Every structure is written in structure tokens, then in C-alpha cells.
Amino acid sequence: MQKKKMIINLLDQKETIRPQLYGHFIEHAGRTVNDGLFVGKNSDIPNRNGVRLDIIEAWKEMGVSLLHWPGGITSESYEWRKGVGDRTPNVGITSKNSIDESNDFGTDEFMDLCDYLGCDAYIVSGTLCTDERDLCDWVRYITSPLPCEQAKQRASNGYENPWKLPYLCIGNEWWFRESSNRYAEDFRRYSYAVTSLIDRATKDQMKIIARGPHLYQPQMTLDLISQLTPGTFQSVGFYIVAKPEPACSSSNFTEEDFLNTLFKIQQTDELIDTNIGIIRSNPLNKNVRLSIDEWGTWYQNEPEWLWKQSVTMRDALAVSQQLDIFNKHAADIEMASLCMSVNCLCCCIVTEGNELLLTPVFDVMKLYRQHQGGTLLGSWAEEFSTKINNDTVSLLSHSASKKDDELYITLSNASVSESIDIEITVFGCESVNVSGKIVTGNLCDKNSFEEPDTIRSKEFHGFTVKENTIHVTLPPLSLVALKGKL
């Protein structure tokens, strides 16, 4: 048993943890949209406007704060006009090859869904199949009141009232095909067109995101930022999905693969600092934040469909460590979207016909939602780590926040064999009343349609409290969320 000390300082109140850090990515790829969250209005599966009700319920339980759509890579082939009114199939990727897929889930369905969930809409526009004029028309279609031409088109499709579009990103992974100079030119053209051709009210409530490179390529961030005009972007988007090296199976993996996965996640902590430092090195960019466009874990593809992977206890721990890192960077991050929400990669939800399965990541997102909108608190814990290939991998992760008279603490133990006995001192209060939940299991454990609750959050009683000191025993491979009444 490891014995560690931890301090949470109620007097060290930092940034608000923006709810938008808890967003989800839904791409027209694999089985995320078609044959996933969207079943169509005439389906026998209960739905609202074609979107499965059981998924809507799961999103509500997790407190999904933002939806990011239509891609990813598919935003480059997305033509918005084909997805409103009379639909024309669009290129989507459902297997190794691109195929035409139904466009029945288009702008109206997406915006209506965000509206219904009360979450922010985040649209990524490609720069290959969409020119500046198309993009302006698209933004107008979404946001303009009648009587403008695009608003009339929207109204004739059944949606008279305009929606809000809080986030618009220009371009996806441009570095696969062009230099940062070329992208910077594209960005200048598109952002200028959007901000000069849309109405003032829309412009004022919309943040424009320039697409940055992978978080792991700070040199490219430097090249790009030096070419973007401050004030034309409010955020820079980054891709940080953790791909352990060497690549491994999502269901059948070793402890070494697990530690390699955590190592990739933990690298993002410093990389966030590096990239935000580069961006803000120009004082005119001091208010710019990062948008984490895609995050999660990515292993070898399972054969059934594109980007299918098993979601196990490994992912629960990887996701909890990543969320602790995001919380700690509350001042630097505008938003983040989990890649992806449904059926692909590090998903929370898996569907099969009319059945629905909640993965261990669902439970983690649900427990962490308590941090949304809270004030990040200064916290520190003694280190507990191991080595893999000379790299240090931390096994104890944590974050803490406060909302009114409630204190939220998340803690995780990534050791496969050792418990951790943590003594937490909460500075700034006399006493605290605590309750807790735990997610734990073996490393490769996952939920299945036959055994859906193998990994499920449960009430946690492994702690004692004396005045302002909490003693917690974290079992091996576990994450715990504590709620304290101050």
C-alpha cells in the first residue's frame, strides 16, 4: 500500500472550468452518425427528429455541453446544401473507403439537436469543397433572422427561428496537403469573408477557431501563429488523440500497452503549456485559448466497422487522467470534444439495432460533469509513478473544484497492483461532509451487450473524514469522485 499526502487549497481559487471542456465529437464517419445516433424519423427505434432518444438521455446524464460536427476529415468533403431541404447523398466514410451516405442528418437536425440539449454547437468547415461564399451562406442559414435569403430557405425547411453558432472552425488537418503559409492564406480569406459578410450580432456571439497542427508539433504552431493576424481568431484548434506506441489492440493488451497509453496522455500536459506559450508569446494573442478538437484513445481498428474499438477500464483511467489535465488548464482551454461520442474510438455509447450499451467512459464523463462550471482549486499531491522505457508515468492523478458550498475532487490510481492511501487536507475550511462514487475493474474489463454492467460506477465508502482531513483508500485501477459539503 502506498501512502501519499495531498492538499487542496480553498483559498487558491483559479479559473472557472468551462462546461465546454466536456464536449463530444460526432463525425459522419464509421457508425457515429448514420447507423449510430441517427436512425431517421420513421425508425421503429424511439427518436426525436431522427436522433435516438436513448442516446439523448445518455448525453443528458453526462451533461454534454458541446457537440462538434460534421468532421474531422469528413468536414473537407461536406457540402452543407446537400444536407438541407431535399437531400442529396454526400461523401462519408463508413469503411476503409469513402462512400456516399444519406444526408438525412444535416444542419437542421444538428442545430435542432444542440438547441434541444441546450449545448453549444461547434461546426468545422472544410476549405476544399466549401468556398468562402458557401461558408458565409451556411453561417447565414444558421444564424440570420428573416427576411434574408438563407433565413427564408431555413424557414421553408421548417425552422423559422435562427440558432446561435458559438463556434466555427476553418479547416481540418491541412498539414496533410499544404504548408502553414497556404493554410494561413486560406484562413485569412475565409475568416475575413465570414466576419465581413455576416451580421454584427452573429459575429459578436461567434468565436472563430483557426486550425492548429497536432499538439505534438509545436514548431508548426510557431510557423502558423506568426502568419495569423491577432484578433481574427479567438482560439486555435488542436488534435491530441493518444495513440500508444507501438500500436496495440483495444481489447487484448498488456500492462506495458496501458502505460504507453497513459504516457501519451500525460505528455499533453506539458504540450498544452508549450503551445499556449507559443500562441500567447505575442501579447495581442493573450486572450486566445486552445480548442481540443479531438481527444481520447486510438488503438488498432477492430474489423466490424471503421474506427471500432473496445472501450475498457484502461480507457476509463486514460480519460480521467486527460480530464484532470484539462481541468488544471482551465485558463488555457476554450473547449474540448471527446473523439467520439458514439460507436467509434473512445466512445461512451455503443448501439446495436435497438439496443444501447454504455461504456466505462460514459461513467467517467458522468462523474466528472460535477466539475463543469466550478472554480478550479489549487491542489497538490505527492508523486506516485513508475517507469516505462526510461519515461516516467504518473499513477496518481487528481483535480479539485468548488461550486458554492460544494467541493468536488476526482482521484485515480493507475497502479495494477497497489492501493494508495491518501490523506487529503482541505485548507480553508473547518470541516467537510463527504460522499463518493467509484469506477474500478481489471485492466481489460469492458461492458458488453451480454454483461452491460461489468464496469459501472458504484457508491464508494473507502474513506474517513476528520474535520478538514479526508483519508481515502484508492484500490488498484480505480477512479473516485468525491463530493464534499463545506
Residues lying near ligand AHR in the complex (CB under 6 A)? 27, 29, 71-73, 172-173, 294, 339
d(CA 167, CA 184): 19
Residue carrying the nine cell digits 469528413? 74
Q: Least distance (Å) from ligand AHR to the CB of residue 30?
A: 8
Q: How far is the CB of 162 from ligand AHR (least distance, A)?
A: 28
Residue type, 297: T
Q: Which is nearer to ligand AHR, 337 or 399 (CB)?
A: 337
Q: How far is CA 26 from CA 38, 91, 269, 332, in A?
A: 11, 16, 25, 24
173/382 with CB nearer ligand AHR: 173
Residue with cell 466536456: 22
Q: Which is nearer to ligand AHR, 63 or 213 (CB)?
A: 213
Q: Nearest distance from residue 73's CB to ligand AHR, in Å?
A: 3
Rounded to the nearest whole angstrom, what is the least distance from the CB of residue 359 to ligand AHR in the complex?
17
DSSP 118-178: T-EEEEEE-SSS--HHHHHHHHHHHHPPTTSHHHHHHHHTT--S-----EEEE-S-GGGTS
Closer Cβ to ligand AHR, 169 or 325, answer by number: 169
Of residues 203, 233, 87, 210, the one with CA closest to residue 139:
203
Q: In the bound complex, what is the minimum distance in angstroms from residue 176's beta carbon to ligand AHR?
A: 9
Closer CB to ligand AHR, 115 or 173, in the complex? 173
Q: Are β-strands 420-427 and 2-16 bridged in parallel, bridged antiparallel, or unpaired?
A: parallel
Query: Angle between the 180-197 and 132-143 helix axes, to the nearest 10 degrees?
Result: 40
**Residue 314 and residue 261 in contact, taking contact as beta carbons nearer than 8 Å:** yes
In whole angstroms, what is the distance from residue 447 CA to residue 316 CA?
12
Closer residue to ligand AHR (CB): 73 or 465: 73
- The residue (of 50 and 72) whose beta carbon lies closer to ligand AHR is 72
Enumerate residues 6+ apart whose C-beta is below 8 A from 101.
Answer: 28, 34, 89, 90, 91, 92, 94
CB-neighbour burial class of residue 29 (10 A; exposed 0-12, middle 13-18, buried 19+): buried
DSSP-based helix, strand, coil % in the chain, nearest 5: 30, 30, 40
CB of 190 to ligand AHR, least distance (A): 18
CA dist 336 and 323 (Å) reads 10
Helices 255-280, 313-328: axis angle to 10 degrees equals 20
Give the residue at shortest CB distance from ligand AHR.
72
Choice between 172 and 370, CB closer to ligand AHR: 172
Least Å distance, CB 179 to ligand AHR, is 18
| Smallest gap from residue 342 Cβ to ligand AHR (A) | 13
Nearer to ligand AHR, 184 or 346 (CB): 346
Q: How far is the CB of 71 from ligand AHR (least distance, A)?
A: 5
